[in-house]
Amino acid sequence: MFSISKEFHFSASHVLDRLPKWHPCARLHGHNYVVVLELSAEDDDLNDVGFVRDYRDLDAFKKWMDATLDHRHLNESMGGGGSPTAENIAKWIYDTWCQDLPELSAVRVSETPKTWATYRA
């Protein structure tokens, strides 16, 4: 099994309104997010060049992320699809892109340099 990954960055705000009022994340705040897409393929599924997928094919994801998430309020951008936690953002990105990127095997999301959430189907 081969896997490749590519890192992307965006900045956005959110409110985790299901937390108690005293929790700092229950207030409007923002993060400089890091998203890592992981794509995987078996040996026999590599393309003719020997790639899982050409990294340039991920340009469409970058454009979508910039237009949909960067400098946005995630509670609105995600269309009300649950609380915009790192975990839910990772799953939402996976669900949004798994048809266009069938090799997509995991999405990792970081809100801070020391914290990560990963979604694997």
Q: What is the set of active-site residues?
A: 25, 71, 111
Q: Distance (Å, rounded) from C-alpha 120 to C-alpha 117?
A: 10
How many Cβ atoms are within 10 Å of 76's Cβ, its own excluded?
A: 11
* 3-state SS assignment for residue 64: helix
Could you tell me the sign of the dihedral formed by the alpha carbons of 97, 82, 67, 12, in that order?
A: negative
| Residue 31 near residue 112, CB atoms below 8 Å | yes
